[in-house]
């Protein structure tokens, strides 16, 4: 036998603990590309939603909107439902309320800009979905401002648009 090994000259006991440490790190490095991107998107989305809700709340808290707060549910979280009274209100808006709704809609445009800028930075597909949702919402606000829709129907339709938008955003998330 030309090359007979008498065994390693160094004890091999150190290999097992090293393998236990290195293998998970190496395996996690292989899977982190998508996971890292998903985590980045999740963090950015949570922060953006919080900023948006803060923007909405700061505007809606103004005294100008005292009368509207008991009629209109404003929340950027699509899964958060308004109290039942908001959905079942059968009254149509008064001229004063329509004026307030129009002013509120104009004031909320800065919140939309914040969302669109943030969404474009997270994922360009998000911005496109938000624009489509805002377009549908604008049509609804205009229809409501005509005075022919009840508060309950307005709140239900707004919630429906938000849920559709949320569903589309979720579909984009699933594709990532």
Given a cut of 70, whether residue 5 has pLDDT beyond it is no
| Structure token pair of residue 144 | 């409501």
DSSP state letters, the chain: --S-----SS-GGGHHHHHHHHHHHHHHHHHHHHHHHHHHHHHHHHHHHHHHHHHHHHHHTSGGGTTTTTT----S-TT-PPPHHHHH--PPPPHHHHHHHHHHHHHTHHHHHHHHHHHHHH-HHHHHHHHHHHHHHHHHHHHHHTT-S-HHHHHHHHHHHHHHHHHHHHHHHHH-
What's the confidence (pLDDT) of residue 1?
Answer: 46
Instruction: Dump pLDDT digits (tens) for 16-54.
Output: 554 555 555 555 555 567 778 778 888 888 889 899 999
Instruction: Dump pLDDT digits (tens) for 94-118.
Output: 999 999 999 999 999 999 999 999 9
| Structure token pair of residue 96 | 């004063």
- pTM as predicted: 0.76
CA 125, 42, 114 angle in degrees (round to 5)? Answer: 60
């Amino acid at each position: 036998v030309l090359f007979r090994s008498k065994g390693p000259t160094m004890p091999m006991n150190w290999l097992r603990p090293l393998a236990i440490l290195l293998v998970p790190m190496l395996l996690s490095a292989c899977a982190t590309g998508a996971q890292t991107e998903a985590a980045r998107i999740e963090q950015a989305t949570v922060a953006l939603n919080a900023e948006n809700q803060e923007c909405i709340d700061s505007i809606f808290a103004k005294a100008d909107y005292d009368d509207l707060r008991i009629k209109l549910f404003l929340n950027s979280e699509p899964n958060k439902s308004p109290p039942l009274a908001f959905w079942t209100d059968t009254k149509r808006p008064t001229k004063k309320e329509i004026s307030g709704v129009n002013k509120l809609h104009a004031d909320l445009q800065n919140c939309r800009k914040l969302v669109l800028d943030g969404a474009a930075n997270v994922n360009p597909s998000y911005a496109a979905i938000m624009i489509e949702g805002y377009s549908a919402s604008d049509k609804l606000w205009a229809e409501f401002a005509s005075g022919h829709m009840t508060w309950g129907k307005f709140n239900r339709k707004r919630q429906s648009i938000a849920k559709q938008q949320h569903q589309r955003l979720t579909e984009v998330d699933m594709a990532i």
